[in-house]
Amino acid sequence: MSVPQAYEGLWRRKGIWRSNGSSDLVTPVWWFQAADFHIDLRIPADRKAVTGFAGTTAVEGERCEWRPEIAYPFVSPELDAGFMRFEGADALHEEGVDGSYDEDWWREAGVPVSSSRTVLDDGRIQYEISCGEFLARATGKPHKAADITVWRRLPTGLWRVIASTTAARENVTVETP
């Protein structure tokens, strides 16, 4: 299963508008999309509803479906799918298949993208996607809370954590993620 190359890269959400009238234009969202895998992390300012997930992605025509294998805090049984419409090479509009939301996205970083999925010695699954100066890693077991972190490479060559399911890790700088 492979998604069209037009989807690959790091996407950031401009906003979400829900059919119930609510909207969110401020929650930072990072959606890393590789040829087969995705990592998605959403961290509201109050951190009360941090969510993230990683798994496979299936695209059929304009319909895109994300199938999480690991997640924080848990894998939801709900279908996560939307109808996608490109509004230029780096702009994307998503409409929930059930009509409950609309989201607008912009591509922060494009190809080349590299990704891997590894089963670690302790049975945890690790997804990793890099794109330009950004790197995302999601590690966990199905039905257990995953650890998801996003780094950005600094001009010095060091890496800074810009988002994580572990708040204490954010803004930490390391030599190697």
Q: Taking the chain (177 residues) in consecutive chunks of 10 residues, what is each chunk's mean pLDDT?
A: 90 97 96 97 92 96 96 92 96 97 96 94 97 97 95 97 94 94
**Token code pair at residue 75:** 């894998």
Topology annotation, domain 5-109:
Lipocalin (2.40.128)
pLDDT of amino acid 1: 61
pLDDT of amino acid 76: 87
End-to-end CA separation in angstroms for the chain: 28
DSSP code of residue 145:
B
* 162-168, long-range: CB < 8 A, 24+ apart: 163/28, 163/30, 163/41, 163/43, 164/41, 165/41, 165/50, 165/52, 165/72, 167/47
**Token code pair at residue 149:** 């972190």
The model's pTM is 0.95
The C-alpha atoms of residue 35 and residue 55 are separated, in whole angstroms, by 12
Residues of the chain with CATH 2.40.128.280: 5-109
Residues in a beta bridge with 151? 135, 161
Looking at this protein, which amino acid is placed at residue 130?
S
Residue 153: phi, psi to the nearest 5?
A: -75, 130
